Amino acid sequence: ATDGVVDNRLFSTTKISVLLDDNTYLLWRQQVLLALKAHKLQGFLDAQQVPPTQFVSDGDGGLHANPEFERFEQQDSALASWLLSSISPTVLPHLIGMNTSAKIWNAIILALSSKGDVSMKEFLMKVKSCCDNLASCGEVISEHEHVTAILNGLPSEYESVISIVTASQVPYTVQGVTSMLLDTETRQQVINCDISSSLNVVSHQSSETSVDNDSIPAYRPSSASRGRGRGRSSNSRIQCQLCGKAGHLVDHCYYRFDSSYKSNNYRPPPQANCCMISPGSPMVPWSSPAQQNVQWCPPGWCFPTPPASI
């Protein structure tokens, strides 16, 4: 101020780059506060600040206008106009009837305040403080407006409470809404605690299972057993009774239909002793247990007489 008159250049040159709406409150608030502090005008936003009296008495007992009050009113009106110029048209309807900087400031906080990460008790106290500040400025907030401000600041997890209050035929009081919200917050904390405990138990069990599995050595088949069961491994225990080679039986032997083939290197065990006869030769039945060890004979092969060792 210069000689009791506000320098109008303050409000014509200081611009807010972001208009206030439902999504820009924090950024807008920061810019406004910095601008006001730069010109030492932040005191006008304090609803508890008592303005100078409008009239003062003279020495003769008469009253005349107080210059201090006129300067204060001029500064406050200029600041209020500057604040309104930085607000988007979607928010302006909430500020109808607000004619001082303190009223506008607290009405904005009340309209756009949200719970955020604070506790429900802190959020409710914040809303109540804004209502009290407006009341101290002469702008009394009704019960319905107070409840509406609370509901507008609640996050989505309180949608059930919002639906109950707004759908009720009987208007809820501030005290009734406060009790519902505090009870809901307590219930949500219990549920979140139970879920967290369950997740910790599952995580602990998974960790123990992982440790147990790590302590069990992984199975690695030995080289001697990798070819077993496919009939081609040289380490297989089966052996042909005709050619003497390992890896197959007589019924799969290449020489089983070759009557001219004779094995020179293989000597069959006694229980598998056999010889070649021509078709039609008489078969001699065996009755001893040792003879019965041979359960079958390939085509063209038989046992015409019991082996000499039996």
Terminus-to-terminus CA distance in the chain, angstroms? Answer: 135
The tens-digit pLDDT sequence of the chain (310 residues) is: 445 445 544 555 677 888 998 888 889 999 999 888 888 888 899 888 888 998 888 877 788 889 999 999 988 998 999 999 999 998 898 888 888 999 999 999 888 888 888 899 999 998 998 898 888 888 888 999 899 989 988 988 899 899 999 999 999 999 999 999 999 999 888 888 867 666 666 665 666 555 555 554 554 544 444 444 444 444 456 777 777 788 777 777 777 777 666 665 555 555 444 444 444 444 444 444 444 444 444 444 444 444 454 4
pLDDT given at position 48: 81
Question: Between β-strands 55-57 and 301-302, what pairing exists: parallel, antiparallel or unpaired?
Answer: unpaired
Supply φ then ψ for residue 294, to 5 degrees. Answer: -90, 115
DSSP 12-60: HH---SS-B-TT-HHHHHHHHHHHHHHTT-GGGG-TTPPPPPSEEE-TT
Neighbours of 240 (CB within 10 A): 21
Residues in a beta bridge with 246 = 239
Long-range contacts of 214-223 (CB under 8 A, 24+ apart): none
pLDDT given at position 115: 81
Q: Which residues contact 198 (CB under 8 A, 6 or more apart)?
A: none
In this prediction the pTM is 0.54
